[in-house]
A and B are shown apart, each in its own frame.
Chain A
Amino acid sequence: MRARVFVRLKRGILDPQGAAVKRALEGLGYREVQELRVGKVLELELEGTDRGQAHGRLEEMCRRLLANPVTEEFTVEIVEDGARGVR
């Protein structure tokens, strides 16, 4: 099955990279952008079919390595079950 992990900076933590990208969009005329924060998406291909177990393992991976608990928060989603390419 395939999974996606989203890692983003916690609310309240300054994101200078996001601020710079927002300014660049403003420069291109997109003045409607009120806030922009940059995060990460990690895409994983997993062995097995047990969604619940996979979810637990993914959260553990986030706590142990994929996210820094001091500065980041994460969400996990299983995007595809079963054989590769089949939705």
Chain B
Amino acid sequence: MRFGVVIFPGTWSDCDFHYVIGEVLHQPVKYVWHRDTDLGDLDCLILPGGFSYGDYLRAGAIAGRSPVVEALPDFVARGGYVLGSCNGFQILCEAGMLPGALMRNECLQYRCQSTHLFVENAETPFTRGLRPGQVLKMPISHGEGKYYADPETLRTLKARNRIVFRYCTEAGDVTKDANPNGSLENIAGIVNEGGTVLGLMPHPERAAETAMGGTDGLLLFHSLVGSLVEDGSVLKR
């Protein structure tokens, strides 16, 4: 299925995503420049990690108003999938595609480490190859990953089963100690109402080969590709 990997000035995980999709998953993939708005030939758009526009003003703020991001509502409305990782998650929140915000880590330190993720929702196109309660190992690398949402938004997220991943221990316990950045209720990833836009702080593209220390990130891609194939050609154009 056809993937696009967006490049903003300051993006850094674009090559990793491109490599994993093209060389590991063997799916067609191309780069998409941040000024491009024609996404007609794509099924899934990736917003990779990095420091778009130097994180000026707020992480993801300027990229969140860029032409490619302003084209996302239409892309999603006609069935496109969007995965934002790290800075991509920040951009999706800044653009209002996902609720809440990513704030400075509570510890005030940049955290580059391995984390474990509790799979809360295994019904999204990104997680349907997983089982609820499964524990995935994936790295994080960010200074502003503390998820925040007001109480009403949090209630909605829970009621609609939109919390997809929570930071947990290796054994799968969602504890304060397993929370690397002070995220509200250990939230590491959420989806939009339709389940087709996923934002997560961890880096699935950095956990896609055994040589890199694990392949759990690949499970998200397999879920997604499986779902795309299962649905037929997916996008109504």
Which residues of chain A have a CB within 8 Å of any CB of chain B?
Answer: 13-14, 16-17, 20, 64-66, 68, 70-71
- Residues of chain A with a CB closer than 8 A to B230's CB: none
Given contacts A70-B101, A70-B148, A71-B103, 13 further A-B contacts (CB under 8 A): A14-B106, A16-B104, A16-B107, A16-B108, A16-B182, A17-B104, A17-B108, A65-B57, A65-B61, A68-B94, A70-B93, A70-B99, A70-B100
- Residues of chain A with a CB closer than 8 A to B93's CB: 70
Number of A-B contacts (CB under 8 A): 33
**CB of B58 closer than 8 Å to a CB of A:** yes
- Residues of chain A with a CB closer than 8 A to B58's CB: 68
14-63 of chain B: CB within 8 A of chain A: 57-58, 61-62
Q: Report yes or no: B108 in contact with A66, Cβ–Cβ below 8 A.
A: no
- Residues of chain B with a CB closer than 8 A to A70's CB: 93, 99-101, 148-150
Give the contact-size bracket for chain B: 20 to 34
Which residues of chain B have a CB within 8 Å of any CB of chain A?
Answer: 57-58, 61-62, 65, 93-94, 99-101, 103-108, 148-150, 182
Could you give 28 example pairs across A and B, Cβ below 8 Å? A13-B103, A13-B148, A14-B106, A14-B182, A16-B104, A16-B105, A16-B106, A16-B107, A16-B108, A16-B182, A17-B104, A17-B108, A64-B65, A65-B57, A65-B61, A65-B62, A65-B65, A68-B61, A68-B94, A68-B101, A70-B93, A70-B99, A70-B101, A70-B148, A70-B149, A70-B150, A71-B101, A71-B148
- Residues of chain B with a CB closer than 8 A to A20's CB: 108
Docked pose: A65 CA to B107 CA in angstroms = 27
Instruction: Give min CB distance, A39 to chain B, whole Å.
Output: 12
Docked pose: A71 CA to B184 CA in angstroms = 13
Docked pose: A64 CA to B70 CA in angstroms = 13
Decide if the interface of chain B is mainly helix, strand, loop or mixed: loop
Q: Which partner residue on chain A sits nearest B65 by CB separation?
A: A65
Q: Which partner residue on chain A sits nearest B103 by CB separation?
A: A71
Docked pose: A68 CA to B108 CA in angstroms = 20
Instruction: Give min CB distance, B12 to chain A, whole Å.
Output: 23
- Residues of chain B with a CB closer than 8 A to A16's CB: 104-108, 182
